[in-house]
Amino acid sequence: MIFYKRDAPLFIKGCCIYFGCFSMATLTRQDLNFGQVVADILCEFLEVAIHLILYVREIYPSGIFQKRKKYNVPVQMSCHPELNQYIQDTLHCVKPLIQKNEAEKVVMVIMDKEHHPVERFVFEISQPPLLSISSETLLSHVEQLLRAMILKISVCDAVLDNNPPGCTFTLLVHTREAATRNMEKVQVIKDFPWIVADEQEVHMEEAKLIPLKTMTSDILKMQLYVEERTQKN
């Protein structure tokens, strides 16, 4: 199964144009191609991270996971077509928000059988206003940072309590202001409708905050932390 096919072409074309013309110039946020690049990187990362969290937190049986390679290290990705489709569609819708820097947080909520959240993996995203690719090694640096994030997710077991059996997950996006108003017009959203999240899913009572990792780079700042319910069972 090919994971990145849908997104990859966009990304590559965007980069191609960018590098072909500008080489190591400084670009600003207004350059949409560049926004695309960041969005692509981020969405790829989120996909890998979500799959990894599903694996590490044992939301789904480990049998459906298969080792793949990302950022030059092995990661576990699911092979279940519907699950993958769900995640891909979600991120596909999130991508335009990221491009316009309207997505504040992407949250993966893990809920128990009664649909009460037990854990929330929060990816807080921010993009510096003046994005610049002036460094030669920028992308490999970003790759390194993302690799570290993935590694941190792999060991998050140590700081989290076990989840009760029969958990499910859902993905939420927190946007700035009223970005979603425009979203309804976008075709991709019409095929894969989003609804406003329940208060129940958004807020968790008795939450413990456990920071996992922060990354800062020229093009992207991301923070990953976990809100965990104190009593899970």
* Chain contacts with other proteins (rule: CB under 8 A): 1-2, 4-5, 8-9, 11-13, 15-16, 19, 23-24, 41, 44, 55-56, 61-64, 66-76, 79-81, 136-140, 142-144, 146-148, 150-152, 154-159
Compare residues 154 and 223 and give the one whose CB is closer to other proteins.
154
Compare residues 38 and 122 and give the one whose CB is closer to other proteins.
38
- Give min distance, CB of 167 to other proteins, in A: 16
Report angle CA 168, 174, 175 to the nearest 5 degrees: 150
Q: At what angle do helices 8-22 and 32-56 cross, to 10 degrees?
A: 140
- Give min distance, CB of 29 to other proteins, in A: 20
Compare residues 116 and 213 and give the one whose CB is closer to other proteins.
213
Compare residues 175 and 217 and give the one whose CB is closer to other proteins.
217
- Give min distance, CB of 121 to other proteins, in A: 16
Compare residues 16 and 186 and give the one whose CB is closer to other proteins.
16
- Give min distance, CB of 158 to other proteins, in A: 4
- Give min distance, CB of 148 to other proteins, in A: 8
